[in-house]
DNA sequence: AACCAATGGTTCATATACTGAACCTCCATT
DNA sequence: AATGGAGGTTCAGTATATGAACCATTGGTT
């Protein structure tokens, strides 16, 4: 559950949400062998999500597969730096206040969320469907913000705390198509995790989808990450003209008529263009 | 420069800001000896501030006093986890997108900023002066949000990226007075860094200030952190009835008349009470 | 009441993985 | 071409992280 959803549920209305059935394996890091202590500790933070806000020592041990003593020492050290805080009675850990402060520092210098949020909101309002922006972080996408106008009884659920895979989302496809070539190569060479039966797990099929995205300037993916969800994505470019993130609109497949898709497409392209410009990006020359 | 300030300056008007003259020594960690690798790496993140958004390897080495190779390895590992990102041309590092995502996760579970922001805004509007909320993190305060109605030509500058000391701020005094007793003992035993000539650096003077704060239920400090700034602070309590943070209103000393102070005092007490209740806190019984 | 399982946390010998002096490369200035 | 400063890399040595075994507490079951 993401931020605004949490809020809505608490205070007003509980709307029906499309239930998700992902095969969702915990994205394992590619290289378990050579991993520094810092990475091991920081990865603990990734086990938190909107639906799992509190995690105890034992659960961390189970999730991470590491030794209890090690995990405990990492937790203590993270806590000492404000990245975690411990509930003194339940002894469970949750994300700490340092994250708030540091994210505010980043936003002060690079007001990405502030810039992108109105664009996402407008896009969602214009299309009447869930829109979200994500940006590239390593070989995955990190959500920046999302908005759902909630015009309909059924919505696409979007968990802002979850990292998005590149090969199974329309945002990811847009980034693969217009992003760094070596990223494309790395993803095609790596394991393509299936989330639904329709996830493109065959490299050739993914390559074809990327090529089509390059041709059309916009990506489209149906039921590849969530069942019953269709989405389109458009790249946001950085100053060098490489995709650094993407804007996306997701709609329950039942509502995804060709006309609706076309309307979304136009809004999406305009919004992504605006986002690129606002963030000081440049469109690729080739 | 904090978030909204940055924004205001960019888009509208550049108002005169009270210049600050702190002796501001970089807060050194207390125990340099026993420090794990994780802490060493995470401390690198603290060198970022609103005014120093980009830091290169050599500058990190200078700031941290550690070996270049070590720092570099830490930076690489932080970057791999999205806590930093490197500008490919300048090779300088800045805070990464993972912080945005994780802070969103925390806010989803514990919408502190969302809850506190309207209270701070109202408080600032009601008093006509800068208001901010901070919460305890270790032995310092971490800003949560701030708002300045900007009614006057001179404002107090507030850097949301900077951690606040407990002994030199009204917020800190409020937390010391109503927070955990061992925290009080630790701060009184430790070094009391002077920021201005009026900073209470004598333990007995600080003890007296704490006692007065306990009596009056509200703290007051003049020119102890920033010259020419007077502020009052009120504690926000957690579920156990211990102060976990504070609300504060800061005003340029020239405007700090007794009447104004009394008006601020009343608004501040009401706002802090509301914040405690909204965050599920309880007032101390004793 | 005794038992069991599961929780959070600690100890300490072991050896892994972190450290740092020295080195390399690139680039702008002198 | 020499200098200084930038970012980055190497590798021996050892500081530092690791994990099996341990303890303490809690809550449920027999």
Q: Is the pLDDT of residue B41 over 90?
A: yes
CA distances from B271 to B53, B122, B131, B172, B245 (A): 33, 8, 10, 17, 13
Return the CATH number at A231.
Answer: 3.30.450.40
Segment B131-157 mean pLDDT: 89
Domain limits for position B43: 34-106
For residue B109, the model assigns a pLDDT of 82
Do A203 and A125 lie in one domain? The reply is yes
Q: How many CA atoms lie within 13 A of B255 on its CB side?
A: 20
d(CA B95, CA B84): 4
d(CA A119, CA B41): 35
Q: What percent of chain A has pLDDT over 90?
A: 59
Q: What's the CA–C1' distance between B67 and D8, in Å? A: 13
pLDDT band at B21 (very low <50, low <70, confident <90, very high): very low
Chain A residue numbers with beta carbons less than 8 Å from the beta carbon of B101 are: 137, 142-143, 160-161, 163
Q: Is the pLDDT of residue A100 over 60?
A: yes
Segment B55-80 mean pLDDT: 93
pLDDT band at A160 (very low <50, low <70, confident <90, very high): confident
Asked if the structure places residue A6 within a domain, the reply is no
d(CA A65, CA B104): 26
User: What is the per-residue DSSP string for A30-81?
Assistant: S--SS--HHHHHHHHHTT-BTTB--B-HHHHHHHH---HHHHHHHHHHHHHT
For residue B34, the model assigns a pLDDT of 66
Interface test with B, best of A11, A32, A36, A102 (most B CBs within 10 A): A102
Do A90 and A117 lie in one domain? The reply is no
Asked if the structure places residue A253 within a domain, the reply is yes
Asked if the structure places residue A2 within a domain, the reply is no
Residue B12: what are its φ and ψ, rounded to 5°? -120, -75
For residue B40, the model assigns a pLDDT of 94
Q: What is the mean pLDDT of chain A?
A: 85
Do A206 and A224 lie in one domain? The reply is yes
**DSSP summary character for residue A170:** H
Do A236 and A134 lie in one domain? The reply is yes
Of the ranges A260-269, B156-165, B218-227, B243-252, which one carries the lowest mean pLDDT score?
B156-165
Nearest-Cα residue of chain A relative to residue B29: A81
Asked if the structure places residue B128 within a domain, the reply is yes
Do B47 and B153 lie in one domain? The reply is no
pLDDT band at A141 (very low <50, low <70, confident <90, very high): very high
Digit-coded pLDDT (tens) for B204-216 = 999 999 999 999 9
Return the CATH number at B63.
Answer: 1.10.10.10
Of the ranges A20-24, A149-153, A231-235, which one carries the lowest mean pLDDT score?
A20-24
Do A262 and A249 lie in one domain? The reply is yes
Do A128 and A268 lie in one domain? The reply is yes
d(CA B44, CA B79): 12
Q: Is the pLDDT of residue B26 over 80?
A: no
pLDDT band at B33 (very low <50, low <70, confident <90, very high): low
Digit-coded pLDDT (tens) for A108-133 = 888 888 889 989 999 999 999 999 99
Q: Is the pLDDT of residue B223 over 50?
A: yes
> What residues contact A60, with CB distance under 8 A and at least 6 apart?
A44, A47, A71, A75, A93
d(CA A186, CA A165): 13
**Number of structural domains found in chain A:** 2
User: What is the per-residue DSSP string for B45-103?
Assistant: HTT-BTTB--B-HHHHHHHH---HHHHHHHHHHHHHTTSEEE-TTT--EEE-THHHHHH
**Does B107 contact A3 at a Cβ distance shorter than 8 Å?**
yes
Asked if the structure places residue B174 within a domain, the reply is yes
The tokens for A103 are 């994210």
Q: Is the pLDDT of residue B16 over 50?
A: no
Which residue, of A87, A109, A131, is where some domain finishes? A109
- Out of B37, B39, B108, whose CB is closest to A160? B108
Do A150 and A116 lie in one domain? The reply is yes
Digit-coded pLDDT (tens) for A181-191 = 889 998 999 89
Q: Is the pLDDT of residue A20 over 60?
A: no
**Other CB atoms within 10 A of residue A249 CB:** 30
Contact of B163 with chain A, judged by CB distance below 8 Å, is answered with yes
d(CA A33, CA A151): 48
The tokens for B62 are 């200078």
For residue A33, the model assigns a pLDDT of 54
200-259 in chain A: CB under 8 A from chain B: 240
Do B150 and B230 lie in one domain? The reply is yes
Do B72 and B150 lie in one domain? The reply is no
SS3 label, residue A143: strand
Segment A82-102 mean pLDDT: 90
Segment B167-188 mean pLDDT: 93
Do B129 and B271 lie in one domain? The reply is yes
Q: What percent of chain A has pLDDT over 70?
A: 88
Statement: the pTM of the whole predicted model exceeds 0.85:
no
Which residue, of B78, B106, B134, is where some domain finishes? B106
For residue A107, the model assigns a pLDDT of 86
Asked if the structure places residue B14 within a domain, the reply is no
Asked if the structure places residue B17 within a domain, the reply is no
Asked if the structure places residue B283 within a domain, the reply is no
Residue A130 bridge partners (DSSP): A250
Q: Is the pLDDT of residue B12 over 80?
A: no
Q: What is the mean pLDDT of chain B?
A: 85
Do B123 and B71 lie in one domain? The reply is no
Which residue, of A109, A142, A165, is where some domain finishes? A109
């Amino acid at each position: 559950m993401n931020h605004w959803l949490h809020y809505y549920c608490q205070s007003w209305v509980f709307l029906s949400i499309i239930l998700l059935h992902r095969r969702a394996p915990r994205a394992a890091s590619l290289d378990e062998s050579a991993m520094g202590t810092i990475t091991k500790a920081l990865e603990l933070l990734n086990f938190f999500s909107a639906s799992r806000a509190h995690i105890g020592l034992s659960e961390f041990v189970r999730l991470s597969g590491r030794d209890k003593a090690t995990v405990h020492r990492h937790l203590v050290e993270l806590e000492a730096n404000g990245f975690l805080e411990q509930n003194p009675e339940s002894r469970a850990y949750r994300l700490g206040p340092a994250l708030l402060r540091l994210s505010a520092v980043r936003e002060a210098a690079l007001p990405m969320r502030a810039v992108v949020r109105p664009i996402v909101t407008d896009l969602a309002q214009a299309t009447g469907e869930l829109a979200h922006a994500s940006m590239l972080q390593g070989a995955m996408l990190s959500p920046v913000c999302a908005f759902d106008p909630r015009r309909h009884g059924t919505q696409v659920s979007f968990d802002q705390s979850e990292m998005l895979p590149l090969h199974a989302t329309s945002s990811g496809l847009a980034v693969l198509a217009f992003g760094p070539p070596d990223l494309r190569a790395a993803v095609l060479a790596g394991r393509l995790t299936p989330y639904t039966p329709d996830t493109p797990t065959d490299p050739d099929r993914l390559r074809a989808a990327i090529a089509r995205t390059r041709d059309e300037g916009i990506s489209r993916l149906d039921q590849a990450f969530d069942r019953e969800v269709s989405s389109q994505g458009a790249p946001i470019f950085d100053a060098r003209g490489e995709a650094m993130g993407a804007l996306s609109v997701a709609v329950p497949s039942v509502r995804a008529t060709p006309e609706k898709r076309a309307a979304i497409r136009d809004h999406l392209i305009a919004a992504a263009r605006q986002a690129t410009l606002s963030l000081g990006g440049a469109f690729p020359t080739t």
